[in-house]
């Protein structure tokens, strides 16, 4: 009989019970299968390393897949130094209107000109913010509420905290939708927002806040937009459009100086002639009371 050396595998112990021998064979078979599986997996990894890997698109990589609530509102980019294309003809204003540097809307790429008069924190005076956007083709914009909310947040540090009555008014630029809004920031003011309902060559939007926290009358916005004029650098199409706008001006929105030139002297309440008449009437009444 051959004697086994130390460490040599003797194979299954034939003297062991049959059940025990079957268990040993099963364990060894499982070990062989596991080893073969690991070898196949290693070969697969080696093959895959030589192939170019497909790059999966990031979640929301396509603009259409990004929810509106997750999109960051980017501030409009200022354009190169150019003269403003629009102005507000209001020579009798206590604080003259001022034009901001023109800018490019990051979403649409369109040029925007902004005219401002007054300040939000100066509650004793009116506050106007007007944005004029040139359009190559008539196109609908976002809702007036969304427009006002974006304009307020865009560099103004303001927010629309309440809305009120909605209406429409007629202007030389066509019908405008209006919305009473309460703007909050460094204080709070009740204003009237407005925006073009059927924009053509130009779309207007903005708000007007009356003094002392009151909402302005609708006619105040009509007469305000009546003062918008071209400031040069306009295309022939824009000049033709403004010629049509000027033909639709409201005669009732003429400046007080122009209206005074057409009125009879002393016909306006509070004029010097009326005050002189009232003074003469008071003297006559006192003389009559002094008679016995």
Give the pLDDT confidence score for residue 162 in this predicted structure.
95
Q: Is residue 60 part of a domain?
A: no
Give the pLDDT confidence score for residue 275 in this predicted structure.
43
CA 191 centroid distance within chain: 17
Q: Is residue 215 part of a domain?
A: yes
Report the C-alpha gap between 204 and 151 in whole angstroms. 12
Report the C-alpha gap between 12 and 20 in whole angstroms. 9
Q: Is residue 170 part of a domain?
A: yes
Phi-psi region of 248 (alpha: psi -120 to 50; beta: other; left: phi over 0): alpha
Do the Cβ atoms of 127 and 208 come closer than 8 Å? Answer: yes
Q: Is residue 83 part of a domain?
A: no
Phi-psi region of 203 (alpha: psi -120 to 50; beta: other; left: phi over 0): beta
Report the C-alpha gap between 61 and 239 in whole angstroms. 42
Cβ contacts of 181 within 8 Å, gap of 6 or more: 148, 160, 162, 163, 164, 190, 191, 192, 193, 207
Give the pLDDT confidence score for residue 128 in this predicted structure.
95
Q: Rounded to the nearest 5 degrees, what angle is found at the Cα of 30, between the Cα atoms of 28 and 33? A: 115
Q: Is residue 147 part of a domain?
A: yes
Give the pLDDT confidence score for residue 114 in this predicted structure.
94
pLDDT per residue of the chain (292 residues) written in tens, 0 to 9: 445 444 444 554 545 455 544 554 554 655 565 666 665 555 554 445 444 444 433 333 333 333 333 334 445 555 555 678 999 998 888 889 999 888 888 777 888 999 999 999 999 999 999 999 988 776 777 899 999 999 999 878 899 999 999 999 999 999 999 999 999 998 899 999 999 999 988 999 999 999 988 889 989 999 999 999 998 778 888 999 999 999 999 999 976 665 554 444 333 333 333 444 444 555 555 555 555 5
Give the pLDDT confidence score for residue 232 in this predicted structure.
79
Q: Is residue 21 part of a domain?
A: no
Q: Which domain holds residue 180?
A: 95-257
Q: Is residue 245 part of a domain?
A: yes
Tokens of 259: 């209206």
Give the pLDDT confidence score for residue 290 in this predicted structure.
57
Q: Which residues are bridge partners to 159 per DSSP?
A: 184
Q: Is residue 32 part of a domain?
A: no
The count of structural domains within the chain is 1
């Amino acid at each position: 009989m051959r004697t086994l050396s130390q460490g040599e595998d003797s194979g299954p112990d034939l003297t062991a019970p049959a059940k025990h021998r079957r268990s040993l064979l099963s364990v060894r078979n499982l070990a062989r299968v596991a080893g073969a599986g690991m070898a196949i997996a290693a070969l697969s990894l080696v093959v895959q390393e030589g192939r170019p890997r497909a790059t999966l698109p990031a979640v929301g990589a396509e603009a259409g897949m990004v929810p509106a609530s997750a999109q960051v509102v980017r501030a409009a980019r200022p354009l190169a130094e150019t003269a403003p294309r629009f102005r507000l003809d209001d020579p009798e204003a206590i604080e003259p209107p001022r034009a901001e540097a023109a800018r490019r809307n990051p979403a649409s790429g369109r040029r925007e000109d902004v005219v401002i008069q007054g300040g939000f924190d100066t509650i004793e005076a009116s506050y106007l913010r007007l944005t004029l956007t040139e359009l190559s083709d008539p196109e609908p914009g976002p809702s007036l509420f969304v427009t006002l909310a974006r304009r307020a947040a865009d560099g103004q540090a303001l927010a629309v905290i309440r809305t009120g009555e909605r209406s429409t008014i007629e202007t030389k630029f066509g019908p405008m939708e209006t919305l009473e809004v309460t703007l909050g920031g460094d204080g709070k003011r009740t204003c009237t927002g407005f925006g073009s309902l059927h924009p053509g060559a130009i779309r207007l939007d903005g708000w007007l806040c009356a003094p002392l926290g009151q909402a302005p009358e609708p006619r105040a916005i009509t007469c305000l937009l009546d003062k918008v004029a071209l400031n040069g650098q306009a295309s022939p199409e824009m000049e033709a459009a403004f010629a049509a706008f000027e033909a639709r001006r409201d005669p009732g929105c003429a400046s007080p100086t122009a209206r005074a030139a057409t009125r009879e002297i002393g016909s306006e309440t509070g004029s010097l002639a009326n005050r002189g008449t009232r003074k003469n009437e008071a003297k006559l009444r006192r003389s009559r009371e002094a008679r016995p």
